C-alpha cells in the first residue's frame, strides 16, 4: 500500500487519524519500516507494516512511550507487554478516580440546588 492508502485505510478500519509526517517519523525512528520502491524511493507498506502502524497509533493514543512501542514491534520484547499493561491499568485507574471526583462534585451541586443554595 502506498502512504495515502495506509492513511485512508487506518481511518476507514479503525477511525485512526494519522499524518504523513507521523509515518515518516515512525520510519525514521525505525518503529515501522516500509519497503522503498525505486525510482523515487517512495514508501510501500506491507500488511505487517499496516498492522504495526495500527498498534502503534492505538498504543501512543493511550500514552505508551515510543521506545516501548519499538521494543514490542521491532525487538519482539515480550516483557514490554507487562509495561504496556501497567500503563493502561494506571490510565484506567486515573480515569476512574477523575470520574469519581466529578461524580462527587455533581452530587454536592445537586444537594445545594435542592436546598435552594446558589451554585458556587
CA atoms within 13 A on the CB side of 115: 9
pLDDT digits (tens, 9 = 90+) for 2-35: 888 888 888 888 888 888 999 999 999 999 999 9
Please give the domain boundaries of the chain with CATH numbers for all domains. 1-77 (1.10.1660.10), 78-120 (no CATH)
Chain mean position to CA 59: 4
Q: Report whether 22 contacts 66 (CB < 8 A).
A: no
pTM of the model: 0.68
Q: How far apart are CA 4 and CA 19, in angstroms?
A: 10
* Partner residues linked to 36 by β-bridges: 43
pLDDT digits (tens, 9 = 90+) for 37-82: 888 888 999 999 999 999 998 898 888 999 999 999 888 888 888 9
Chain mean position to CA 69: 10
Going by the DSSP 8-state scheme, the letter that residue 75 receives in this structure is S
Q: Report whether 63 contacts 87 (CB < 8 A).
A: yes
Amino acid at each position: 500500500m502506498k502512504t495515502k492508502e495506509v492513511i485512508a485505510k487506518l481511518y476507514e478500519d479503525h477511525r485512526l487519524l494519522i499524518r504523513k509526517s507521523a509515518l515518516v517519523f515512525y520510519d525514521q525512528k525505525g518503529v515501522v519500516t516500509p519497503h522503498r520502491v525505486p525510482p523515487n524511493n517512495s514508501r510501500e507498506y506491507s500488511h505487517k507494516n499496516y498492522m504495526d502502524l495500527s498498534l502503534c497509533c492505538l498504543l501512543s493514543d493511550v500514552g505508551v512511550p515510543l521506545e516501548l512501542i519499538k521494543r514490542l514491534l521491532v525487538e519482539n520484547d515480550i516483557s514490554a507487554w507487562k509495561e504496556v499493561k501497567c500503563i493502561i491499568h494506571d490510565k484506567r485507574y486515573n480515569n476512574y478516580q477523575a470520574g469519581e471526583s466529578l461524580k462527587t462534585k455533581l452530587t454536592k451541586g445537586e444537594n445545594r440546588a435542592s436546598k435552594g443554595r446558589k451554585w458556587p
